[in-house]
């Protein structure tokens, strides 16, 4: 189980701040704020990218790190837990230890969930402990083709960042990260559509009469 795309980060241009945001094929909005000021954000996307490539991109750690600049190092602990790190501009990197589960859906899609483990791994030097991190994905084939993606999350980066500050950045950051997931899936689809280059047969005179290369 991968926990790579979890709490999607909040380093964006100030002009993009708000409780709602969008990226191609996606909408993001804040649906609730709890008593501690932590917001719940819900996202819905309809992409033309075939489901198989979105599903593969979602589980491809290397591709997602290549595509999403905010994802830092990850480490599977071998006991159902995974350390995830989030890289920020101008603030310290965040760390959280997550657990998760995945449910297969009748339409061929899947629903992964993640939550903070009660057993948080020790922080690496220079990192700050994430205070709240949980969410649910739903990735499924869309009727008529393409992919339907839903994502709901609660996240508080912890440290000296007040929850109300974090909330202001979250919607556009989620939209950007969803766009990065779509981009990763499109890369896989493009690779699959590129025909393999077959080796050309030897041309006459390329070898000697005994078949040995000159």
- pLDDT tens figures, 98-142: 999 999 999 999 999 999 999 999 999 999 999 999 999 999 999
Task: Give the per-residue SS3 of the chain.
Answer: CCCCCCCCCCCCCHHHCCCEEEECCEEEEEEEECCCCCEEEEEEEEECCCHHHHHHHHCCHHHHHHHCCCEEEEEECCCCCEEEEECCCCCCCEEEEEEEEEEECCCCCEEEEEEECCCCCCCCCCCEECCEEEEEEEEEECCCCCEEEEEEEEEECCCCCCHHHHHHHHHHHHHHHHHHHHHHHHHHHHHHHCCCCCCCCCCCCCECCCCCEC
Percent of the chain with pLDDT over 90: 55
Residue 204's pLDDT band (boundaries 50, 70, 90)? low
Cβ(83)–Cβ(121) below 8 Å: yes
Q: Which CATH number fits domain 22-192: 3.90.1170.50, 3.10.20.340, 3.30.530.20, 3.40.190.10?
A: 3.30.530.20
Q: What pLDDT was estimated at residue 205?
A: 53
Residue 179's pLDDT band (boundaries 50, 70, 90)? very high
Give the mean model confidence (pLDDT) for residues 145-173. 89
- pLDDT tens figures, 4-62: 344 344 333 333 456 899 999 999 999 999 998 999 999 999 999 999 999 999 988 77
Domain edges within the chain: 22-192
Integer Cα distance of 155 and 98 in angstroms: 12
Rounded to 5 degrees, φ, ψ at 40 are -105, 130
Among the ranges given (21-25, 85-89, 144-148, 200-204), the one the predictor scored with the smallest mean pLDDT: 200-204
């Amino acid at each position: 189980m991968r926990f790579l795309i979890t709490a999607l980060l909040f380093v964006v241009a100030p002009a993009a701040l708000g409780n709602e945001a969008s990226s191609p094929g996606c909408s993001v909005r804040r649906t609730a704020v709890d008593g501690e000021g932590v917001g719940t954000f819900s996202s819905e996307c309809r992409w033309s990218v075939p489901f198989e490539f979105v599903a593969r991109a979602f589980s491809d750690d290397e591709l997602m790190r290549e595509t999403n600049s905010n994802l830092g190092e990850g480490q599977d602990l071998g006991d159902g837990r995974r350390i995830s790190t989030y890289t920020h501009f101008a603030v310290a990197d965040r760390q959280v230890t997550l657990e998760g589960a995945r449910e297969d859906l009748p339409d061929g899609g899947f629903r992964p969930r993640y939550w903070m483990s009660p057993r948080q791994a020790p922080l690496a030097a220079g990192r700050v402990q994430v205070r709240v991190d949980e969410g649910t994905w739903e990735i499924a084939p869309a009727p008529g083709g393409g992919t339907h993606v839903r994502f709901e999350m609660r996240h508080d980066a912890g440290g000296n960042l007040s929850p109300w500050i974090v909330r202001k950045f979250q919607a556009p950051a989620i939209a950007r990260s969803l766009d990065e997931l779509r981009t990763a899936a499109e890369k896989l689809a493009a690779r699959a559509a590129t025909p393999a280059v077959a080796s050309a047969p030897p041309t006459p005179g390329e070898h000697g009469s005994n078949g040995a290369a000159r």
